[in-house]
Structure 1
Amino acid sequence: MKQWFPVAMTVALGSAIVVPGTAAATPSSGIEAETLVQSTLDGKDYVTRELTVAPGGTTGWHYHPGQVFGVIKQGTLTHYRGDCSVDGVYNAGDAISEGSGDGYIHEGRNEGPVPLVMTVLYIKPAGSPLAVDAPNPGCPFE
């Protein structure tokens, strides 16, 4: 079943996490996700999803509580780190892995003219969210 991809799975019904004294979380836009397979083993959830990001779409700023591995099937992913620099541009056939924890806030964007399609494997502590929304760390684009 296709559904809109809520970047912060920690908050029911897509609400944003707001941390006192900081700006509100940045929402995703233009993203659909389909869960392909999901299982739990030895205290870890394994979730494989296919993400489709429309041209101009973004994941919003976020971090992951577990490991993330992906393969780009179509289009181009431009990946920004929390210091606003591009830490990778990934094209069809490229693999990507992301760091975990709140020290690795990042954003993925489709800055190309065609939909970005990628398959992503999340390996995370059982019951934890796939991702946690974060405020823009001060980057001039949104």
Structure 2
Amino acid sequence: MSESLSAPSDALAWVTSRGMGSLAEKMGIEFVEFSRERAVARMPVAGNTQPVGLLHGGAYVVLGESLGSMHANLHAGPDRLAVGIDINATHTRSATEGWVTGVCTPLHLGRSLTVHEIVVTDDQGRRCSTVRITNMVRDLPAS
């Protein structure tokens, strides 16, 4: 990330104080690590399943978008805003219990676009989903 862009020295405290939004909170998403290099959060399977007991595919996407968008906003700095413009997910395994953990790594951090990959694994460390999100970075609207 460009050093010219302002970022809090304690990024985990920044993201915790900012909050994740009501959807992520309802889903039980918890940040574990948040730094300029990567972001990690976890989410319970219970309460986020399809009728057959598998973690809902959309839940993987919510976890991925929460991580990628928050990390993009850290990169954007205090006078800019990152907004999602594209997201996709490939589900390769189904979690049925415990927690899943998303590890978000930036692939591209530019002035106007960011791209992040989020690898979601189950409690045994097996990859369940791979999410990629692209965010557009914009100036905050004038007040």
TM-score class, shorter? under 0.3
TM-score by length of 1: 0.28
Greater RCO between the two (CA within 8 Å, min separation 6)?
1
Which of the pair is proportionally richer in helix? Answer: 2
- TM-score, normalised to structure 2's length? 0.27
Structure with larger Rg: 2
